[in-house]
Amino acid sequence: MAVIHKTTMRPTKLELLTSWLPAQPWYPGAGREPELSRAGGFRLDDPQGEVGIEFMVVRDDSGDRPVWYHLPLSYRAAPLGGAEQALIGTSEHGVLGRRWVYDGTHDPVLVAQLFALLQGRAEPQMQSVSDAPDPSVTVQAADVPDAVGAASVTNGPDGTRLAVAEGRLTLDVRRVLEPAGQAPEAQGHVIATWQLSDGGESRGVFAVLSRALR
């Protein structure tokens, strides 16, 4: 199980994301700097214990109304080869030293564990507590191959789409979160919670796995 260290990161995750978010095609606040705060999320464990995996939710208060973003992040002790375009930034961790922070949709370890979650082989963990399952994350398990292969990643105004299994499956990662009373029809999905501005909670879809249309 991953160990959550109660320490500092300089720059902080929110500082890194404030610089990175405006360049993303699914960020609607063109021309303005985000005003970010933490609003929830969960973690998955890397079986090899090398890569930190977090599905973070942040709230942006820079516009007329708050917007909540889902940000899959991976943390590495060294650069990930061939993923320069996915690097959010580097940060000095108070215990682990320099960490390379990536948009996790481009990180094969995060993608593999997200599929393991969708297959019922991985257990979501609390965001800020070591060795503590997070029962608020619910999954509709999917009957898909264990080896899904490399992912082709496309970012667009509606979020991030990963094509896997030689294009037979698509995994849509929701970026702008919306409350969802009913899960979509799909091969599998992940639903989790986030905190509202008034202290309440909302639930919605974080990722949807579907068979690709031919």
Tell me the per-residue pLDDT of 46-82, one tens digit each, with 9 for 90 and over.
999 999 999 999 999 998 999 999 999 999 999 999 9
Strand partners, 201: 195
Q: Does residue 193 register a pLDDT over 80?
A: yes
| pLDDT > 80? residue 148 | no
Per-residue pLDDT band at 116 (split at 50, 70, 90): very high
64 vs 57: CA distance, rounded Å: 19
Cα separation, 197 vs 143, whole angstroms: 37
User: Residues with Cβ < 8 Å from 165, sequence gap 6 or more?
Assistant: 144, 145, 148, 149
Q: Supply 120's token pair.
A: 């019922």
Beta strands in the chain (DSSP E): 9-10, 36-44, 52-60, 67-76, 87-93, 97-103, 125-126, 138-140, 152-156, 159-164, 169-173, 188-195, 201-211
Contact criterion met (CB below 8 Å) for 53 and 110? yes
Contact 144, 117 (CB under 8 A): no
Q: Which two tokens stand for residue 153?
A: 């990643």
pLDDT at 11 over 80: yes
For the segment 89-100, the average pLDDT, to the nearest whole number, is: 85
Question: DSSP 3-state assignment of 116?
Answer: helix
